[in-house]
């Protein structure tokens, strides 16, 4: 099944400011807290998107996209594709608006995330990972009714995520670099669009695990690439097999490069946040801190986006133990 894909257009500052006003009653302005690491280490600040109502930044884009639906589209309902966080965001925003929601859910997603999507009122249609990837690329899936809200390749979704960038610069105007974990790319494209519009000198980096790092490979080789050595890990919300060409086009000009961290570095970042700041993060949310600690983004101030905290507590304890 194929469909006409929407044209790509830049995320403008006017789009971001409008999104901010639109979602103000649904999302939190999350805190930006300094991680006190002592002398000689980078000056790192944590943007705590794990504190959102769905414990993930995805609610920002979802709330903006749902708010922009016409009355006719609301009546038809919405659907998205997700391993958990995007589905929770869309389900939450849809429930707030009284709109039916269906999620094409990846069947090996963590049970914690699947259960939370159901608890928010979403109807789940379970599919294998490769089927979900095909649906993401096509922006379509046979049998799905309603308005499709793409989990990352959606202008309104990305504009909602971009509001994080506005908050960062208001709270820490001397920021030198921002790092965000990347799955599809909507988060970093949004943040990069906001930051570059206000201060082009700020560097924006992606962070991926060594087992699933197509974005860093794409930056190294100058175009969207497939990561042949992909292996699944506890970092289920970031990394992947390849970079979608449309998202590569979106990243150019607003993202400066990609970083890769080991699984051990990510575990150490999870533990450090828990010990120093009593923060519970999922694996994907710790990638940015792990990358910042390498020193590759400079001495700072560096803002590391803690993108989500949706993790089974038993798994969290296992990882930091």
pLDDT digits 0-9 by tens, 52-97: 999 999 999 999 999 999 999 999 999 999 888 899 999 999 999 9
**Interatomic CA distance for residues 288 and 301, integer angstroms:** 14
pTM equals 0.94
Give residue-wise pLDDT tens across range 260-277. Answer: 999 999 999 999 999 999
CB 160 within 8 A of CB 52: no
Domains and CATH numbers, the chain: 13-56+157-320 (3.40.50.1100), 59-153 (3.40.50.1100)
Phi, psi at 171, each rounded to 5°: -85, -30
- Nearest to 85, CA basis, from 108, 110, 68, 64: 110
Long-range contacts of residues 72-76, Cβ cutoff 8 Å, at least 24 apart: 73/146, 73/147, 74/98, 74/99, 76/145, 76/146, 76/147
3-class state of residue 147 by DSSP? strand
């Amino acid at each position: 099944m194929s469909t006409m894909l929407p044209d790509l257009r830049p995320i403008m500052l006017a789009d971001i400011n409008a999104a901010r006003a639109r979602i103000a009653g649904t999302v939190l302005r999350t805190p930006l807290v300094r991680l006190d690491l002592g002398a000689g280490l980078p000056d790192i600040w944590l943007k705590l998107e794990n504190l959102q109502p769905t414990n993930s930044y995805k609610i920002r884009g979802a709330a903006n996209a749902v708010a922009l639906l016409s009355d006719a589209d609301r009546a038809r309902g919405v659907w998205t594709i997700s391993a958990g966080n995007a589905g929770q965001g869309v389900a939450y925003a849809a429930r707030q608006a009284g709109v039916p929601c269906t999620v094409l859910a990846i069947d090996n997603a963590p049970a914690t995330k699947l259960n939370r999507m159901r608890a928010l009122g979403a109807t789940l249609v379970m599919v294998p990972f490769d089927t979900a990837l095909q649906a993401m690329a096509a922006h379509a899936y046979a049998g799905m009714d309603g308005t499709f809200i793409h989990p990352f390749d959606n202008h309104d979704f990305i504009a909602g995520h971009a509001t994080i960038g506005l908050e960062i610069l208001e709270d820490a105007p001397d920021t030198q670099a921002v790092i965000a974990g990347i799955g599809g790319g909507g988060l970093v494209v949004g943040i990069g669009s906001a930051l570059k519009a206000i201060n082009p000198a700020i560097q924006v980096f992606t962070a991926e695990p060594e087992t699933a790092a197509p974005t860093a490979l794409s930056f190294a080789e100058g175009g969207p690439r497939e990561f042949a050595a992909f292996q699944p890990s506890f970092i289920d919300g970031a990394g992947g097999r390849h970079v979608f060409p449309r998202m590569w086009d979106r990243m150019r000009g607003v993202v400066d490069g990609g970083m890769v961290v080991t699984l051990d570095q990510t575990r150490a970042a999870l533990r450090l946040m828990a010990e120093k700041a009593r923060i519970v993060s999922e694996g994907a949310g710790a990638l940015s801190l792990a990358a910042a600690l390498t020193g590759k983004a400079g001495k700072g101030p560096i803002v590391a986006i803690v993108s989500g905290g949706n993790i089974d507590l038993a798994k969290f304890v296992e990882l930091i133990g």
